[in-house]
Amino acid sequence: MTALVGHLINGEMRTDAARTQDVFNPATGEASRQVALAGKATVEEAIASAQAAFPAWRNTPPLKRARIMFRFKELLEQNSDEICRMIGEEHGKIMHDAAGELQRGIENVEYACGAPELLKGEHSKNVGPDIDSWSEFQPLGVVAGITPFNFPAMVPLWMYPMALVCGNCFVLKPSERDPSSVLFIAQLMQEAGLPDGVLNVVNGDKEAVDTLLTDERIKAVSFVGSTPIAEYIYSTASAHGKRCQALGGAKNHAIIMPDADMDNAVNQLLGAAFGSSGERCMALSVAVAVGDQAADALVEKMQAAMQSLKVGAFSDSSNDFGPVITCAHRDKVNGYISSAVEQGAMLVVDGRNPEVAGYSGGFFVGGTLIDHVTPEMISYKEEIFGPVLQIVRVNTMQEAMDLIDAHEYGNGTCIFTRDGEAARYFSDNIQVGMVGINVPLPVPVAYHSFGGWKRSLFGDLHAYGPDAVRFYTKRKTITQRWPSAGVREGAQFAFPS
């Protein structure tokens, strides 16, 4: 009998479901288990559980909340191999890549351990005669997170550790495509000492999402996924009076300057374009080469380096990357490759339909390199989300920057150069939220914040780091005065100053 992945509600595992969906091992193409899809009533039960737990949790001292996070971090490290195995079986990510994802998630837990410092607020004595004023950061209440398939461990850990240490209760709706690691990690949170109901996990589809977006008990929603869905999440949540941050898609460009260390650039591009099968919102999918000489050198070296790329199952750590998430997505990625060729691009390395010994049913796409891509092509305009690197040729750095600025997405970008002046001009003026200088994946560390510009982010605050404290709290400013005994002032009708 196929195992059923359920929900975590009020500290209890629940496997009851009127509807289920297959969960696939993308390396074999076979259904490995099923996931329960929560209906409206189940999601409402999770919300009610969080709401009931909120009064006691918000009054738990931040230091005690932080101690739970310290224990949680230790449990994540102790169970890392099991977590990575679950990610590999359902996502397809190679074990070393899954370990890197988990480590970045753990770093966010480490940052959340600083809650007593992060929530101290501000204090000013004697802002007026015998008058003191201070601010406090108070929790919002019950908040929700809706997370994608491509980082089942890391992205939830962007959200609920900080939300919880700020005093909120949380309802998480992870991707139904790879739910097992998410639920296992949530159980570790319970094992660390989190009270029942403070963190709830409901697996589901659009019905579950819409319940979270419209229920008045949910005060804020965090989302990571594609731009069309991010826009829907943001507009619906905002229309129902909720605070919302919705991180969307990307089309990340790297400028390759003529003076770049080309061997270093190629090595960096290999991992940035093909790691995780390109299923990253920070994947580097377009290299903009300045001048034909730089472009020709880049293509020649990339073509040679790609001959040694290995695509295969998660369990073999000698593989560089694994399959994409579904059969339908594999076909979609292959369709983008075909469309680029049909529209006049040059296919240098064709990754369609690779042969992977022992895994003929898997959803594999090999590393693909396409040259002479232009901005009019469909494959350039849209996010491919696969192991495909496209080369666009331009004549000047400014032309390259104009190309990047004109794109609807503004998530991440980088430049490869030895010229400090060019690098500084690029970082100062490019209209993108996360910028790398000879760093192809400029993902901020846990004590900064993550987020793009333009249609890569809907909302004012970025994910994790300092912005997470602001997102998951509301500021209250208190002004108090204790008049001296026997001293009374008459009524004042002018605005106080």
Q: The CATH number of the domain where 305 resides is what?
A: 3.40.309.10
CB-based contacts of 243: which residues, under 8 Å, 6+ apart? Answer: 140, 219, 220, 221, 237, 459, 471
On whether residue 354 sits in a domain, the answer given is: yes
Classify the C-alpha dihedral 393-436-378-341 as positive or negative.
positive
Instruction: Please name every residue paired with 145 in a beta bridge, in sequence order, or none if there are none.
Output: 172, 222
On whether residue 100 sits in a domain, the answer given is: yes
Task: Say which DSSP state 484 is in.
Answer: P
| 3-state SS assignment for residue 381 | helix
Q: Helix 154-165 to helix 62-78 angle, to the nearest 10 degrees?
A: 160
Runs of H (alpha helix) within 59-153? 62-78, 80-91, 95-112, 115-118
Task: Say which DSSP state 317 is in.
Answer: T
pLDDT at 482: 87
* Co-location of 230 and 261 in the same domain: no
* Co-location of 356 and 338 in the same domain: yes
Please classify residue 409 by burial: count the beta carbons closer than 10 Å to its beta carbon, then call 0-12 exposed, 13-18 middle and 19+ buried. buried
pTM: 0.95
* Co-location of 234 and 108 in the same domain: yes
Torsion angle in degrees (nearest 10) through CA of 431, 436, 442, 445: -100
Q: What is the identity of the amino acid at 64?
A: K
* Co-location of 224 and 272 in the same domain: no
Identify whether the C-beta of residue 367 lies closer than 8 Å to the C-beta of residue 276. Answer: no
On whether residue 303 sits in a domain, the answer given is: yes
Q: Parallel, antiparallel, or unpaired: how do β-strands 252-256 and 199-201 relate?
A: unpaired
On whether residue 450 sits in a domain, the answer given is: no
pLDDT at 17: 73
d(CA 349, CA 308): 12
Per-residue pLDDT of the chain (497 residues; tens, 9 = 90+): 578 999 999 999 998 778 999 999 999 999 999 999 999 999 999 999 999 999 999 999 999 999 999 999 999 999 999 999 999 999 999 999 999 999 999 999 999 999 999 999 899 999 988 899 999 999 999 999 999 999 999 999 999 999 999 999 999 999 999 999 999 999 999 999 999 999 999 999 999 999 999 999 999 999 999 999 999 999 999 999 999 999 999 999 999 999 999 999 999 999 999 999 999 999 999 999 999 999 999 999 999 999 999 999 999 999 999 999 999 999 999 999 999 999 999 999 999 999 999 999 999 999 999 999 999 999 999 999 999 999 999 999 999 999 999 999 999 999 999 999 999 999 999 999 999 999 999 999 999 999 999 999 999 999 999 999 999 999 999 999 988 776 677 778 888 76
* Co-location of 197 and 280 in the same domain: no
On whether residue 132 sits in a domain, the answer given is: yes
Please give the C-alpha separations between residue 310 and each of 15, 265, 268, in angstroms, as whole numbers.
Answer: 38, 20, 16
* Co-location of 259 and 238 in the same domain: no
Give me the number of domains the chain comprises: 2
On whether residue 448 sits in a domain, the answer given is: no
d(CA 400, CA 378): 19
Domain, as residue range, for 188:
4-248+456-478
* Co-location of 23 and 131 in the same domain: yes
Nearest residue to 159 (alpha-carbon basis) of 142, 172, 150: 172
pLDDT at 216: 98
Spot the catalytic one: 113, 169, 244, 281.
281
Radius of gyration of the chain (CA): 25
Nearest residue to 322 (alpha-carbon basis) of 32, 84, 91: 91
pLDDT at 489: 73
* Co-location of 419 and 390 in the same domain: yes
Q: What is the identity of the amino acid at 324?
A: V
On whether residue 160 sits in a domain, the answer given is: yes
pLDDT at 1: 53
* Co-location of 40 and 136 in the same domain: yes
Query: Residue 192 is encoded by which pair of tokens?
Result: 């660390």
On whether residue 393 sits in a domain, the answer given is: yes
Q: How many CA atoms lie within 13 A of 446 on its CB side?
A: 21
d(CA 20, CA 36): 5
Please give the C-alpha separations between residue 475 and each of 18, 256, 471, in angstroms, as whole numbers.
Answer: 42, 44, 10
Q: Identify the helix (H) or strand (E) that includes residue 269.
A: helix 262-274
d(CA 47, CA 41): 10
User: Is 281 among the catalytic positions?
Assistant: yes
CATH number of 154's domain: 3.40.605.10
CB-based contacts of 3: which residues, under 8 Å, 6+ apart? Answer: 32, 33, 34
d(CA 411, CA 250): 5
* Co-location of 225 and 373 in the same domain: no
Q: What is the identity of the amino acid at 67?
A: R
d(CA 265, CA 271): 10
* Co-location of 228 and 311 in the same domain: no
* Co-location of 26 and 96 in the same domain: yes
